[in-house]
Amino acid sequence: MSRIGKKPVPVPAGVTATVTGQTVKVKGAKGELSFVVPDRVNVAMEDGAIAVQPRDETKQARAMWGMSRSQVANLVEGVSKGYEKKLEINGVGYRAAVAGKVLKLALGYSHEIDFEIPAGIAIVTPKPTEILVSGIDKQRVGQVAAEIRELRGPEPYKGKGIKYSGEFIFRKEGKKK
């Protein structure tokens, strides 16, 4: 039994959810999202909440049960609150700035990197060494943050590079004489 899958997803005030067949559509103050639930799982509206149940007791159906419930919960939270990832930049001369639809990054290379901001994602730089990635789709926000981090990941000796806020970087000791 999936502990996560058993709980129905409550739909808060200000959010409307519709279930048609295997498609769940959620609309809220921040926008609209939809998710197609796998065929091995049933989805239905019950008492102002979205309930997810497996169609049979196969291993795949049980695995998709919890995943589908989590996806639906992420949709509801995304349209009501939204998601945000915070990145920090460490290093001398390393900085970021937003210019229109482009994130300009100086990361110690011989050239400046221009990162195109995708639709549905907002990127803000409150400080030159801080990047805030926000949006309503949890997967896309995390993916964009990972792509930015990948441009210059943190290195273990001096800790230079882009890291998630609160991420621990295991530091190594340098050469000894």
Each residue of 163-175: pLDDT tens digit?
Answer: 999 999 999 998 8
Each residue of 7-28: pLDDT tens digit?
Answer: 899 999 889 999 998 999 999 9
Q: Please, what is the angle between helix 59-80 and helix 138-150, to 10°?
A: 90
Let me know if residue 176 belongs to a domain.
no
Predicted TM-score (pTM) of the model is 0.88
pLDDT at 81 (0 to 100): 92
Contact by Cβ (8 Å): 96, 131 = yes
pLDDT at 1 (0 to 100): 63
Rg (CA), the chain: 21
Instruction: Indicate whether 88 and 23 sit together in one domain.
Output: no
pLDDT at 174 (0 to 100): 86
Let me know if residue 20 belongs to a domain.
yes
Long-range contacts of the stretch 23-30 (C-beta < 8 A, 24+): 24/50, 24/72, 24/75, 26/72, 26/75, 26/76, 26/78, 26/79, 27/79, 28/76, 28/78, 28/79, 28/80, 29/79, 29/80, 30/78, 30/79, 30/80, 30/81, 30/82, 30/136
Q: Cα separation of 51 and 76, whole Å?
A: 13
Q: Cα separation of 141 and 131, whole Å?
A: 12
Instruction: Indicate whether 73 and 110 sit together in one domain.
Output: no
Per-10-residue mean pLDDT, the chain, length 177? 83 90 92 92 90 90 91 93 95 94 94 94 95 95 96 93 93 87
Instruction: Indicate whether 131 and 108 sit together in one domain.
Output: yes
Instruction: Indicate whether 59 and 104 sit together in one domain.
Output: no
- CATH number of the domain where residue 91 is located: 3.90.930.12
Rounded to the nearest 10°, the torsion over CA 99, 105, 139, 29 is -30
Q: Which domain holds residue 48?
A: 3-80
Let me know if residue 31 belongs to a domain.
yes
Instruction: Indicate whether 160 and 88 sit together in one domain.
Output: yes
Provide the token pair at 65. Answer: 């049960």
Let me know if residue 171 belongs to a domain.
no
Mean pLDDT, the chain, rounded, equals 92
* Total Cβ atoms within 10 A of residue 137: 19
